[in-house]
Amino acid sequence: MKFAFSSPTNTKAELDTLFYDYRKLGYEGLQLKHAQFAPYIQKPTQFLEKWGEIEGVASALITGGNLDDENQQQLRSVFDFASKVGTERIVFCHGIPRNQVSNDDIIHFANLLSELGREATEQYGVRLSLHHHYDQPVMHREDFDLFFEHVKGNSVCLTVDTAHLIKSGITNISEVVYSFKDRIDNFHMKDIEEGEWKVLGEGSIDFTPVFQSIKEIDYKGWVSADEESEGDLKRGMEVCYNFMKTGLSR
d(CA 131, CA 94): 8
CA distances from 125 to 81, 108, 161, 189, 243 (A): 11, 24, 24, 26, 32
Which residues make beta-bridge pairs with 157?
A: 129
In tens, the pLDDT along 42-72 reads 999 999 999 999 999 999 999 999 999 999 9
For residues 137 and 100, is the Cβ–Cβ distance under 8 A?
A: no
Is the pTM above the cut of 0.85? yes
d(CA 40, CA 171): 38
| CATH number of the domain bearing residue 32 | 3.20.20.150
User: What type of residue sits at position 170?
Assistant: I
Picking from 140, 142, 144, the residue whose alpha carbon sits closest to that of residue 159 is 144
Say how many domains are in the chain: 1
- Neighbouring C-beta atoms of residue 171, cutoff 10 Å: 11
d(CA 116, CA 121): 9
For residues 180 and 144, is the Cβ–Cβ distance under 8 A?
A: yes
pLDDT in the model for residue 22: 97
Point out the least confidently predicted range of 66-70, 80-84, 214-218, 246-250.
246-250
**Taking every pair of C-alpha atoms in the chain, what is the biggest distance, in angstroms?**
47
For residues 215 and 250, is the Cβ–Cβ distance under 8 A?
A: yes
Q: Which domain holds residue 61?
A: 2-248
The mean per-residue pLDDT over the stretch 127-151 comes to 98
In tens, the pLDDT along 186-231 reads 999 999 999 999 999 999 999 999 999 999 999 999 999 999 999 9
